[in-house]
Structure 1
Amino acid sequence: MNSLTMRCAALALCATTLAACGGSSGGSIPLSGQISGLNRAGLVLTNKGKDFAVPDSASTFQFTDLVASDSEFEILVKTNPEGQVCTPSNNKGRANYYSYTQTIITCTTDPYTLSGTVTGLTNTGLVLANGSLTVAVAAGAKSFTFGKTVPNKQSYGVTVLSQPTGQTCTVQNGSGIMPIGDKNDVTITCI
């Protein structure tokens, strides 16, 4: 009877140890990889129906469910963060201790147009700047556009780099955080 009790205890200990090592899927390999460019929450990855919500601005990921050696995997983006597009590479194959960390998720931030109105500009020479981006505004122009060059959720700051001949121009609503969409309410007033 003592032998039976010992065998049951050993079996229970073995089952507990295997469950702790292998997780619910019975595997022993954690699927993981690198992430570049992620700057917000909302990225969800999936592998064969198992989802993993990636923490905000993470540079790595690791699924909580372990997979068995030699099992097929395909890590896909289930949900992109708002305002970003994330793309996987090296994301499928058979799991082994050499391939399970090869996946790279590359995220890019959607750019939008930064623009506004111009009033009172009668002379040439007005140049506006947003960081290293510049735009020359023609005499008589009623608007300006930097184009789809400003990533959303990044700061912007429109300034007058060069005043027009004989005039002084000022900027209103020229700085802030780029929305997820075009920003078109910057106002340039020249006198």
Structure 2
Amino acid sequence: MIFITIHRYFYLKFLEVIMKINKLIWIIIAAQLLFACGGFGGDDDNDEPDQFAIGGIAQNLNGTVYLGFKKNGAQNYWETVGVTSTAGEVNWRFIEEHDVGTQFDVSVYVQPEGQLCNVENGSGSLNASNANKIIVTCEDTNENLAVGVEISNLVGELTLQLSVDNVAVETITYNLGGQATFYFNEKQAAGVNFAIDILTQPAVQQCTITSASGNLNSGNASTAKIVCTDKPTEPVILTGIFVDSPVTNISFSTLTQQGVTNINGEFSYSENEQVTFTVGE
């Protein structure tokens, strides 16, 4: 009887040891899993990400609006995205992520048909608090569309005229440099025939316009583009005198000038040009 009691005692102790070992093993496994999933929530992995995607929400959108993103003050779009919704509200974002501190400027590239969308919080220096806070608010235009023009590289003033069904309805002078899109003040009914013309050019530039006429719809209301380039510098015309004596009617020619000397022996030429004189021809 004593032997049986002792045997049972050691058997229970043995089971107790086995249970403690099993418990310790499970604790070790749980710890390993916890570390693999990111630790115990300490400060080691608590750093802010250094890149963010730019995005936000579109409200009251019924169709597709195209948004463009300009990076660090560039004139051209870095990336564009089409945002579509028929339910009125949708989240959106550009695909590429950008470094904290990137200067961003988001604007409407193409308006949705029958609506006009505006951008809030669309520019700034990228950080965690504003990366996805851009709000695009759209409203129905009752088929009245704002006619817009994108202007590039303008220096000086440019006067434009909007005509609807061959009747001039608005004239506007634009004098902001760089690249920007502006809209005529008066919205026009979808379906009318429109045309945008350049009335006066800037003093030192020549501007050309494309995609500036047609049957007005949301697809072409703001696709007109104006590109301005500097005019070539006019050569400076100089006057020379035939040095031997003021001999008249001696023929002369250069790359840009030709003629005969006048009664004072004078002739014209551009700077750094070679002058050739001929007699008896």
Between structure 1 and structure 2, the one with the greater Rg is 2
Task: Give the TM-score range, shorter chain.
Answer: 0.3 to 0.5
TM-score between both structures, scaled by the size of structure 2: 0.31
Tell which has more relative contact order, 1 or 2 (C-alpha 8 A, sep 6+): 1
